[in-house]
Amino acid sequence: MIGLAATVITITTGHSPFTPSDPTPTLKGSGDNSGWAGHLPDPCVGVPDDAIRAAGLDPTTRNRGWRDLKGENEVIISCYYSSPQPVGIEYNATYTWSLSIDFLIDTYQEYFQNSSRVDQRRTKINGQPATFFRVENWGASRGLHECMVAIGTVFGIAIYTINDDTNAKMTQQQTCDKTVLAATHFQPYISTAPLQK
């Protein structure tokens, strides 16, 4: 991932971006001891359609994704979107790119202490600490056509991943530019509500 460390975008989305007055992200400690297991917010909820479109995505493709099999003690919740299908082309995933959003209870610190999170590059999203990375030993087919960035949250971390499904037509830089754009538009809508049981 070339030149990513300097990639910072700040926008106005109609909702207040991250500010010091917002609840402080949980950057350190243990997610297992945080109490958030089974109480994660839903990443498919709360982001307006205008923000989704501004990120280059089609809000009608929203799909609530995989939920941790531990049920009431779930530690990850996901949401997916795709880019608009080109006009005049019958639906075919190879003409689109997709965004996955994963909310996890892992704290920012402990997530990146895992040795499988490689090629870490620090950046900021809306002024908040963030890190580009990839997961070691994931298939080569993902390689240069996937880009991931993680942001600290009050419940753990949010991970934004762009996957190039367009027959690998995007460069690594283009894929990561889209990741930053999506994270920048979506991050202001991450729940900052305290844990409630």
- What are the pLDDT tens digits along the chain (197 aa)? 434 433 333 333 334 343 333 556 777 778 888 889 888 999 999 999 999 999 999 999 999 876 555 566 778 899 999 998 877 766 565 678 899 999 999 999 899 988 888 889 999 999 888 999 988 776 555 556 789 999 999 999 999 999 887 666 788 889 899 999 999 999 999 988 888 87
Helix (H) or strand (E) holding 123: strand 117-125
Which residues does residue 118 pair with via DSSP β-bridges, in sequence order? 134
What would the two tokens of residue 28 be? 């350190």
Closest to 184 measured CA to CA, from 128, 106, 136, 116: 128
Structure tokens at 45: 């909820």
The H or E element spanning position 50 is: helix 49-54
**Apex 188 CA angle, 95 and 10, nearest 5:** 80
**Residue among 163, 53, 38, 15 nearest 103 (CA):** 38
